Amino acid sequence: MSTATTTIRKDDLLLRIREGGKLSTAEQLRLTVTLAVPAILAELSSILMFYIDDAMVGSLGARASASVGLMATSLWLFWSVISCAATGFSVQVAHLIGANDLGRAKDVFRQSILASLALAVATMAVSAAIAGALPRWLGGSEDIAADASVYFLIFVLGAPLAMIGMLAGAMLRSAGNMKVPSLAGVATCVMDVSFNFLLIFPTREVMLGNWAVTIPGCGLGVPGAAVGTVCAEGVVGLFMLWYAVCRQEELRLTGEGRSGKTNGTRPKNGLLGNWLSAFVPEKQVLRRASDIASPILLQRVLMNAAQIVTTMIVAPLGAVAIAANALGITAESLCYMPGYGLGGAATTLVGQSYGAGRRRLTERFAWLTTLIGIAVMSFMGVVMYIAAPLMMATLTPDEAVRQLGVECLRIEAWAEPMFAASIVAMSCFVGAGDTRKPALMNLFSMWAVRITLAALLAPRYGLHGVWIGMAVELTFRGMIFLIRLKWGRWMKDKK
């Protein structure tokens, strides 16, 4: 009963945003928390999945961890490219839902499916073509290049499945449904761990008391981790797409006609032809998606390029440094996942409020989510500083990797509050469709501050210098994002 009541309250509050009703400060806070908690759990599930993956691979030794760590930044770039399509379309849907134009919101959702899959296939083809040479381009040694190449290739071949999950999740969140993506994240984590347990390790015997139990396994090693993750994400992504298409009221396409707001150029080819043509994106929908997503795409490409440059700075420091850097980033992700969860809630709340033309409410939600994010991640920074030895111990048995990772995590802990400010504030800007200037701010911070400091400090201080540069840059980035949130013109006049 309590769950049903919570759902009714959340939906009622979201409906009040769309219909111009008043929300008290307590109701704004309740709505923020109601949306943020499932989003944080979804982020936690995703982070735990990769955390456990890295721990499983880490048990194979420093070389296996280095193979995965070498490709991490390139995979971030790959995922960033395909996820931008989901952002470009889902922000439009959030605005339309906020304006109570559900018919048009469904049109945009329908058209986004074909456009997003086309982008995923194109990205897959390009990425697969460079998979063989990429580890060597990044400065990886021959002893890790083969596994690194196969690991990357398996992931990019799963691009269409990954795109389906990203798009469906983004659309559900734009409609205010954080519960299904959250549960889907938990399911993905459970399935991924199960698959990897069977795929990474060979068949082995485990003693349970006096009994010897044979556990089957494929013994694929590093490639097995990629196969398990792709399979888990594919199954759950298809489920979320089905839910969005068939069950989510604001998005449901089954039994729905078109809104009729089209460019008037679609041919009449009978029932099947009209149904298929409904998935072909209209020019104005693609143009608006491009306006929203292009700056984010440019930002993510160049931000991930900067991460790749960072990897190239770290690579000459040796396998221990590569492994410690990669595993340290994985460990840190447990601390910043609340920021991304709150960012998901912020995009929904700001997007719907902005779509409804409620500027003051938009600004209040932006500050509320940002300040909560700073508070939560400040606490997580303290936890990371204290628990760093335990976090690294669960990821690798290699003592040298563990010790170096602990020292780097404790450097980074000081930057968590301002890191939260940059994460949540950026999500607010995206919700309002303001992406160009924030993207440039991110790029300036990453390239002018982080890369410069890493390049200057790494020769003298090793991996510690790279992480000092990272901490300084994240603090700087958070400060300039707070300045824009307060004084910048990020809420354009509602058209």
Average pLDDT score over residue span 172-185: 91
d(CA 438, CA 381): 25
Q: What was the pLDDT predicted at 413?
A: 95
Four-CA torsion 158, 160, 166, 169, nearest 10 degrees: -110
Amino acid of residue 311: T
Higher-scoring residue by pLDDT: 254, 160: 160
Q: How many C-beta neighbours within 10 Å does residue 479 have?
A: 13
pLDDT digits (tens, 9 = 90+) for 94-114: 999 999 999 999 999 999 999
Q: Is the pLDDT of residue 259 over 60?
A: no
pLDDT tens profile 195-217: 988 898 888 877 777 787 888 88
CA distance 382 to 337: 15
Mean of all residue pLDDT scores within the chain: 86
Backbone torsions φ then ψ of 453, nearest 5 degrees: -65, -40
Counting every residue written for the chain, the total comes to 495
Confirm if 280 and 107 have CB atoms less than 8 A apart. no
What is the model's pLDDT at position 263? 44
Give residue 8's pLDDT band: very low, low, confident or very high (50, 70, 90): very low
Choose the most confident range, by mean pLDDT, from 59-63, 316-320, 344-348, 424-428.
Answer: 424-428
* Mean pLDDT within 52-63: 80
Q: What is the mean pLDDT of residues 79-101?
A: 89
Residue with tokens 């309740």: 30
Q: What is the reported pLDDT for 255?
A: 64
* Higher pLDDT pick, 339 / 308: 339
pTM: 0.78
Q: Which of 172, 179, 313, 170 is nearest to 246 (CA)?
A: 172
Region 372-385: mean pLDDT is 94
| pLDDT confidence bin for 269, thresholds 50/70/90 | low
Higher pLDDT, 257 or 452: 452
- The mean-pLDDT minimum among 68-72, 144-148, 420-424 falls in 68-72
Distance CA 254, CA 110 (A): 11
CB neighbourhood size of 305 (10 A): 17
Listed residue (313, 303, 299, 301) closest to 467, CA to CA: 313
**Closest of 299, 296, 302, 329 to residue 71, by C-alpha:** 329
Average pLDDT over residues 313-334: 86
Instruction: Tell me how far apart the 2 most distant CA atoms of the chain are, in Å.
Output: 75
**Runs of H (alpha helix) within 316-358:** 319-355
Res 275: pLDDT: 59
